[in-house]
Structure 1
Amino acid sequence: MQLNRQQRAVLDFMKECHADQKRKYDHAPYWTHPYAVAALASAYIKDEGVIEIAFCHDVLEDTTCDQHQLSAELKRIGYSTGSVKTIMDGIIGLTDVYTKENYPELNRRERKKREATRLGQTNYLVQSVKYADLTDNTKSIVSGDPGFARVYVGEMIDLLDQMRIGNIHLLIASCHELSLALNQIDAR
């Protein structure tokens, strides 16, 4: 994946936001996950903002950075107003709405079902990056937590059932990873 100056600056900002966070199962620096998502998504999508959206898809959800800070940083890096809007719309579209903090009265199953419905109403770019996110996360979860993997693949099925307008190649990759996960879970 070739990065231009602005994309390298976004990568650096994302690394700063995730700071010392580690991936849950392999304990790699957390930034390696959004980087992998960006690499996969950008292999199939050349749309403006796809790399930046993938890089920052967990920033609002998993760090102290808020929408205002992220938007200001994109402007500081030199993105145009239109590009900032495209990137922010994508990141906001990928940020969970139905969280335990926002909906404590709902159990996980109900929150995830609502999130799947919401994501099913998002645009091509959001759904495409989400496919790449699911593909990368599935590998980690299945190898790192086989018990939770059963729950996760059920949620993934719900998501993929709702999200049907993203990039077909990324959808296929995500479905392939789901199939591998189901086979591994069944083999245990």
Structure 2
Amino acid sequence: MQEPLQQVLDFAEAAHAGQTRKYTPERYMVHPIRVMEICSRYNNSVPVLAAALLHDVLEDTPVTSEELLRFLHTVMPPEDAETTIALVNDLTDEYTKERYPNWNRKKRKEEERERMRRISPYAQTIKYADILDNSHEITAADPQFAPRFLKECRMLLQAMPLGHAGLYHTVKERVHECLQELPRRG
């Protein structure tokens, strides 16, 4: 792994310290690492791979965008740091329950989908990898919630077709396959 990416990985690991995946006892970082690995098959840009590693930091840890940007400026050229923080900001949910407590999940997801329609193709590619990694795990571990999650993913994908075409096709197929699996489960 390139030195800046190793430093970003270490930062993300420290930010997510003590967190585990929702459906497994694995440390949380296994997910961002898998997302980065998926992205690396389609793009080897350091800012894109760094953003993949950091995609949940602002949403799921106390780290602020300003703190993250300060860190990024210590490990990569300014232009790469600015690109990385822009991608991470694009990937951070804006329409959260905490910010919009009077909105139901459907309304929040509709607004988030409209926002995601306008994010960069690189951010969309990272989101594809995120969906791809989460789809199988949620389908297997939570068959009650999986239909809702997968349908939300399908609608999100319809709104954001500008990322890497090959990964877009793969994730659309995975979501469809996961939805097809569900009726066969007990």
Q: Fold match, TM over 0.5?
A: yes
1:30 matched residue in structure 2: 28
Question: What amino acid is the match of 2:150?
Answer: V
Q: How many residues align?
A: 185
Matched residue, 2:174: 177
Give the SS at the match of 2:41: helix
**Residue equivalent to 2:123:** 126
Secondary structure of 1:146's aligned partner: coil
Give the TM-score of the pair, scaled to structure 2. 0.97
Measure how far apart 1:48 and its partner are: 4.1
Deviates more, 1:29-38 or 1:68-77: 68-77
Aligned to 2:87: 90
Contact 1:113 / 1:158 at 8 angstroms: preserved in 2?
Answer: no
Percent of aligned pairs with the same residue?
Answer: 34
1:152 alignment partner in structure 2: 149
Q: State the shift of 1:186 in Å.
A: 2.0
Could you tell me which residue of structure 2 aligns to residue 106 of structure 1? 103
**2:173 maps to amino acid:** H
How far off is 1:113 after superposition?
Answer: 1.2
**Which whole-Å deviations, capped at 9, do the CAs of 1:22-77 have from their partners, x for residues lacking one?**
00001211000000000001111133411100000000000010011111111122
Q: 2:160 aligns with which of 130, 149, 163?
A: 163
1:58-73 to structure 2, matched below 5 A, reads: 58-73=56-71
Instruction: Give the Å deviation of 1:8.
Output: 0.3
The answer (yes or no) to whether the contact 2:5–2:46 under 8 Å persists in 1 is no
Quick one: distance in 1 between partners of 2:126 and 2:47?
11
> RMSD value over aligned CA atoms?
0.9
For residue 126 of structure 1, give the secondary structure of its aligned residue in structure 2: helix
Please give the TM-score of this superposition, normalised by the length of structure 1: 0.96
After TM superposition, the structure 1 stretch with the greater mean CA deviation from structure 2, 124-133 or 40-49, is 40-49
Which deviates more from structure 2 when the two are superposed, residues 137-146 or residues 46-55? 46-55
- Aligned 8 A contact 2:58 2:64 in 1: yes
The code of the aligned residue for 1:31 comes to M
Residue type of the partner of 1:53?
A
Structure 1 counterpart of 2:83, which letter? T
For structure 1, the residue ranges without an aligned partner over 5 or more in a row are none
